[in-house]
Structures are given as C-alpha cells and as structure tokens.
Amino acid sequence: MAKEPTITEPSYISYVQEVPHDHNDWTELQKVAFRIAFIYFGLFSIPLDLGFYQMLINMDYAHLNYRHLTEIVAFFNPQFINVFSESGFFGPASYINLPFVLLIALLGGFIWTKLDKNRKEYRSLYYWLRVMARYRVAYAGIGWGYKKLFVMQMPTQNEGLWNTELIDFFAKRLYWEVISVSPSYEVFLGFAEFIGGFLLLFRRTTGIGAAITFVVFGNIAISNHAYDIGEQVPSAGMAMLSVFILWYDIPGIWSLIVKEQDSRIVHFYPELKAKWQKYTKRFIKYAFNFVFVFLFFVFEVYAYTHNDFYKIPNTPGLPKSRGYYEVSEFKLNNKTLPYSPFDSVRWQDVTFEDWSSMSFKVANRPQHIEMFAAGSYPGNEEVYDGKWRIDWRGDVRRYGKPHKRKKRADSIRDINVTWELSGISGRIWYYYKADTINHVLYLQNKNKSDRAQKQVLHYSRPNANRIILQGTNEFKDSIYVVLDKSDKKYPLLQRRKGDSEQ
C-alpha cells in the first residue's frame, strides 16, 4: 500500500532580524561615506542655535505649557546664513545652509578619515545616529500633530475674516483658511503627523513611521513653497532625516515588494553590558517620552478645555456682541460723514468677536502687514538687499534677545496674539479692555507697528442689535458711531448647519 505524501508548511523567513554582534569589515568607501553622513545628519538632529539654549535657560518652568514644549521640539535646522531676498525667504536660496553644513561635513569627514584609518566599521555609531534622527523627527511630528488634532494650528474663521475681501489675503493665509474650513481634514493631517512620529519611537515600526513622516513633511515643504509660507526648510529637513532613517531598509523593501523575492533586513543593536548604561538609556528614553508625548498631550487637553488657543485671544469680549455691524451714522468732531468707499477716516463696517477684539474697515489707510511666522519673513527694518548675513550663533532672528519667559497677564498676551490680522490687510484690528461698570472701551491697535494708536470710547446698547460708541479715536478726534448688527448670512456656516441637521 502506497504511503501518502506528507504536506509540510513552508519554512518561515524572518524579514527583520536583530543582530547584537556583526563584525564584518566595511569598505573604505562605506567608512568615508558614513563619516560624512554622521556629521551631516548629526548636525540636523540636534539644536545648534545659541538662542535655543538661552530659551531653555530662561523658560518659565513653573508655568510650563504646551507652547513651551512646541518651541522645544520645533527648533529649526542649522541656520548660520540668511539671504535677504525673496528667494532667500521663500525660494531656493532659503536652502543655503544645507550645502554649507555639507561642506562642514566633508571637511570633518576628511579630518576624521586621517585620524581614524584603522577603524574597521561604525555599526554602533550608525545605530546611535539613527536613534538621534528618529527621536528628532518623532517629537517634531508628535508636537505639530497635536496642534492639528486639537484644531489649533488652523483655528476656525472669525467675523473679521469673513468680511475681508479675497484680494486682501496673502497666499499663505489662503492656504491656512482652506485647511481651517474643514476641521476634520485638519484633524486627519494632524493624525498623519502624530502617527508617523509615534511609530518612530519603536524599533519594529521605525520603517513605516519614517515612510509616513517623509510623505507628510515632504508635502508640507511643497505647500510652503506654493503658498510662500516660509517654513519649507525645517519641513524639508524633517523629510530628509526621514529618508536617512528609512535608507537602511530600502534595499530589503525593494527586493520584497518590487522584485517579489524573499528578503531579510538585518538590524544591529549594540549590547550594553554595564547596568548603569542600561538604566541610563531607559531613564532618558522614558523621561523624554513622558514629557514630549504624555505630558504634551495633557497640556494640549488642558489648553483645549480651558480656551487657551495660541492663535486666539483668551479674554472674553462684550457679552452677546459678536457679529458684523453696519455703520449707520458716523460723526467726526460733531460733523456727520456720509458713507464713502474711499474714505480713510469714516468706518465702513465693524466686527466684534467672541474675544476682546474689534475691527473696522476703512479705505486707503497704509499699515504694515503682520506675519505670524515672523522668523521666516523680513521684519520692518529688513529689506530685500540680496546680502548674505552670517552669524555663528545661528538663527538670531527667530529667538531674538534672551529674556525670562514668565507667564503674562491675559491682557498682555491677547494684544500680542496677532493671528486675526496676520497675512491679511483691509481691516484695522484693536484689542480692547471693557469697563462694564462705566461702559467704557479702552482700545489699542494690535498691529505691532501701530501700538501707539489708542482709543477711549464710551458705549451704550439701546437694544440687542445696536451699539453706540462715543469718545476719542486714535487721532485725538472726537467720534460718534452708531452700529447696527447685520443679519448677514455666511454660506459656509449655512452649509455646516445644514450638514449637522442632516
């Protein structure tokens, strides 16, 4: 009687293998390439700006919050050279520090080669370099992912924004508002940043995490170029580090997916023999993850539930005043001014927000355009002269002069939150402090170039839809303004309301 054949399972092939020891020698080319890469990518993995460390020293740790942690994880790439030109801020010249750092790496690699000729391999250093790059990209992705997950980076629109003409928007502000009109899409983008960074924290998911962060940060860099946002270099740096992290796995992935062949990716993990080394490594790992993942999340939740959005003022405005108001009557020094779309003095319309901000529209009044990402835009005194500015301290424009960053009162904070007027023109924005007992509004221009402009206006509310302002304007003239709330409909809000009802 014939014996039936035995069916066996195919042998299992491990695609990722941990190898604690592997002493195969490297070629001379591999060693030289690694020395250059170690210096280059190492410089992009640690903060080099002197201002960054001054910021850490002067940080108000007693009132630590999510904004502080964001400043830590979002430090810029090496930036020793600034080119004051349009290309230097938004175009190819903004990448001038990449070849500059490469030159440093080439020189360092040459010296290293001369001093270390007998070294056979650098597997341990390669491992630690990938660790530095992993955590650099991971915490950046997690930090900025939180901003979008909690709908902070692109907050919802306000009354003043809805009543600003499209021609008065800068390209970067249009991009931000395109994202903000769909909070669910913003949350999706935040999840992509967060999950990519989170996966980089673990050895077994490093490859997929690096692939995700490369796509996410690469897309952000392209968007920054398309809309002149000015943050393309840090984003491109994160994408570059993601490629470096993924580089080790690419041959195995290519063989498996493209060639459809069995593949094995061998990872080297150095063995720490001394107990103090193991405990130190674990302590640093868990401490950093606790601060920049868990504690960061707690701070974000607290801020979200306590109305502490870094782009929106905290102080509540006049109760039940939010809305768009038509200027029914306007008197200047007791003289009635009729409506004119070309008048630079008479207000055309007024908006009040949920917070302590008021804006009005006038014609042809020059004003400096505020930019939220000030470090990536020329300041008032900076012109496009095309000159190179080199500073060994790094990005002094971003951090400025060191100072103790203590918790500020809401009034001081709110006047410096200029998101409402960033990247747009056409409206004049004021922060106000309301004396609800004597019915007085103390107003100050929110534009940093016009902070000296102040108004003191008494207010009365004959009915729920009318506000009467009377007092002294920013030019020391007496004004009398009658505001009537408009029942203006916004198609975007109507669409959202219809969607929620369905």
For the ranges 113-117, 188-192, 393-397, 428-432, the lowest mean pLDDT is seen at 393-397
Q: Which residues contact 199 (CB under 8 A, 6 or more apart)?
A: 205, 206, 208, 209, 212
d(CA 245, CA 236): 14
d(CA 348, CA 325): 9
pLDDT tens by residue, 198-226: 999 999 899 999 999 999 999 999 999 99
Q: Quick one: pLDDT at residue 403?
A: 54
For residue 18, pLDDT beyond 60: no
What tokens does 461 get?
Answer: 């509310």
pLDDT tens by residue, 461-502: 999 999 999 999 999 999 999 999 998 888 877 765 555 544
For residue 409, pLDDT beyond 70: no
Q: Quick one: pLDDT at residue 369?
A: 84
Q: Which residues contact 338 (CB under 8 A, 6 or more apart)?
A: none
More confident residue, 373 or 103: 103
Q: Quick one: pLDDT at residue 13?
A: 38
For residue 23, pLDDT beyond 70: no
The DSSP secondary structure of 404-467, one letter per residue, reads: -BPPPPHHHHHHH--GGGBTB-S-EEEEEEEETTTTEEEEEE-SGGGTT-EEEEEEEEEETTEE
pLDDT tens by residue, 136-149: 999 999 999 999 99
pLDDT tens by residue, 262-278: 877 777 888 888 888 88
Task: Answer whether 302's CB lies under 8 Å from 418's CB.
Answer: no
3-state DSSP call for residue 478?
strand
What's the half-sphere exposure (Cβ side, CA atoms, 13 Å) at 143? Answer: 22
pLDDT tens by residue, 328-379: 999 999 999 999 999 999 999 999 999 999 999 999 888 888 877 656 677 7
For tokens 């021609």, name the residue: 167
Q: Quick one: pLDDT at residue 42?
A: 95
As a whole number, mean pLDDT of residues 52-72 equals 90
More confident residue, 169 or 10: 169
d(CA 237, CA 46): 12
For residue 6, pLDDT beyond 70: no
The per-residue pLDDT of the chain, averaged, comes to 87
d(CA 497, CA 502): 9
- Which residues are 335's β-sheet partners? 332
For residue 404, pLDDT beyond 60: no
Q: Quick one: pLDDT at residue 117?
A: 85
Residues of the chain with CATH 2.40.128: 323-496
As a whole number, mean pLDDT of residues 441-461 equals 95
Indicate the CATH number of 323-496 among 2.30.38, 1.10.10, 2.40.128, 1.10.357.
2.40.128
d(CA 468, CA 460): 5
Q: Quick one: pLDDT at residue 405?
A: 57
d(CA 33, CA 27): 10
pLDDT tens by residue, 232-259: 999 999 999 999 999 988 888 888 888 8
The pTM of the full predicted model, rounded to 2 decimals, is 0.87
